[in-house]
Structure 1
Amino acid sequence: MIGEPVQIAYGVDDVRAAAARWVTRGVGPFFVLDHIELRNVRLGGAPATFDHSSAYGQWGSLMVELICQHDRQAEPFVHPHGIHHVAHMVDNFAAEHAELIASGRSEALYAETATGMPFAMHDARLELGHHIEIYEGNERLRGFYEMVRTASKKWDGADPIRTLSPLKP
């Protein structure tokens, strides 16, 4: 297996409204990225777009992502209810990506962030009920995870939903 999960993601209709509901449960603060810029996107192996926004918060030792797809296609990738994916940081993206495909977990989504970091979601819905997301744990990504975790430890309930600027290469 690819190691312990670092994030659980839920499909939602609206990331800010969903974050506000999670805040009432004591989870937060949430950091929102709107219309996340991606390049080299493939959905089901075909070139595509994937316009989505996400809110990130900390729930104990696990990051929570609330994800909303804006570009609803005939068959949307993100359904607005339930667990969408569980994410794992891996040491070697290419090797893990190939291994997941070889083990029968097809590539549902492949994309690269604006900073050039590849990530993929593999279909494990029949086995686990959700997708598996993988990405390499680089310094920038680990810093983001640490920022969210640290903010949750110091959080006094103020400013529960914070908008982040888009990532720059």
Structure 2
Amino acid sequence: MSILGRPVQIAYSARGTDTLEEAAAEFRQRTSCGPFVFAHHIEIASCTINGVASTFDHSSAYGWWGEIMVELVREHTSPLGPSPSGLHHMAFMVDSLHGGIEWCAQQGWPLTLHAQTSGGQEFVFCDARDDLGHFIEMYEPSERLLGFYDYVRQLSQTPS
């Protein structure tokens, strides 16, 4: 039995355009999801990649698509790994980050990135690309994170 629960977000690599805004506009035109909220060069307080202190400079556009958040992610530092399908990760809110990491390791999906934002939100990526074609992102729910999810969802319900 998976401890991940249901996915709360699907994320695609934002590539093929000059800006994240252009990628989001194109994605919205094709899928009718959104509108998008942009976070450029998200501040990371600490980060390890494959157990080594590192940096993870990325920008994201967040929108809502049906019943799930969609993220378009653009990595400014070296990418965590190739994403041939364009699907970067699926995200899950878990009760225990440590438990989620252990469960993923048992599936053969090792911890790749462990980071904390400057706002205090801890998150991880486990590498399930060989089996699923994408990373698994996990974070524990927080008031701030749940509020952001609600905000993006509400934007999608506002007539444009």
Aligned residues: 153
Residues 8 and 125 of structure 1: is their aligned pair in 2 closer, same or farther, counting only changes over 3 Å?
A: same
Q: Which residue of 2 aligns with 1:90?
A: 94
Match of 2:13 among 11, 14, 21: 11
Other-structure match for 1:115: 119
**Residues 78 and 84 in structure 1, CA contact (< 8 A), matched pair in contact too:** no
Match of 2:80 in 1: 77
Cα RMSD of the aligned pairs, angstroms, is 1.5
Q: List runs of 5+ in structure 1 lacking aligned partners.
A: 157-169
- The residue identity in structure 2 corresponding to 1:12 is A
1:89-138 Cα distance to aligned partner (Å, 9 max, x none): 01111221222223321011110011222110000011111000000011
- Give yes or no for the alignment of 1:23 onto 2:25: no
In the alignment, structure 2 segments of 5+ residues that lack a partner are none
CA drift at 1:56: 0.1
Structure 2 residue 43 is the aligned partner of structure 1 residue 41: no
Distance 1:39 1:78, change over 3 A: farther
Would the alpha carbon gap of residues 80 and 96 (structure 1) be closer, same or farther in structure 2, given more than 3 Å must change?
A: closer
1:152 and 1:112 map into 2 onto residues whose CA distance is 27
Distance 1:67 1:80 in 2: 12
The normalised TM-score by structure 1 is: 0.85
Q: Counterparts of 1:118-157 in structure 2 under 5 Å?
A: 118-156=122-160
Matching residue's letter, 1:115 = G
Match of 1:103 in 2: 107
Question: Structure 2 residue aligned with 1:55, among 48, 53, 61?
Answer: 61
Question: CA offsets, 1:16-62, max 9 Å, x none?
Answer: 11101122132111000000001221112211101110000000001
Q: TM-score, normalised by structure 2?
A: 0.89
Quick one: distance in 2 between partners of 1:155 and 1:61? 17
* Structure 1 moving runs of 4+ over 6 Å: none
SS in 1 for 2:153: helix
Matched AA of 2:117: T
The farther-off stretch of 32-41 and 9-18 is: 9-18
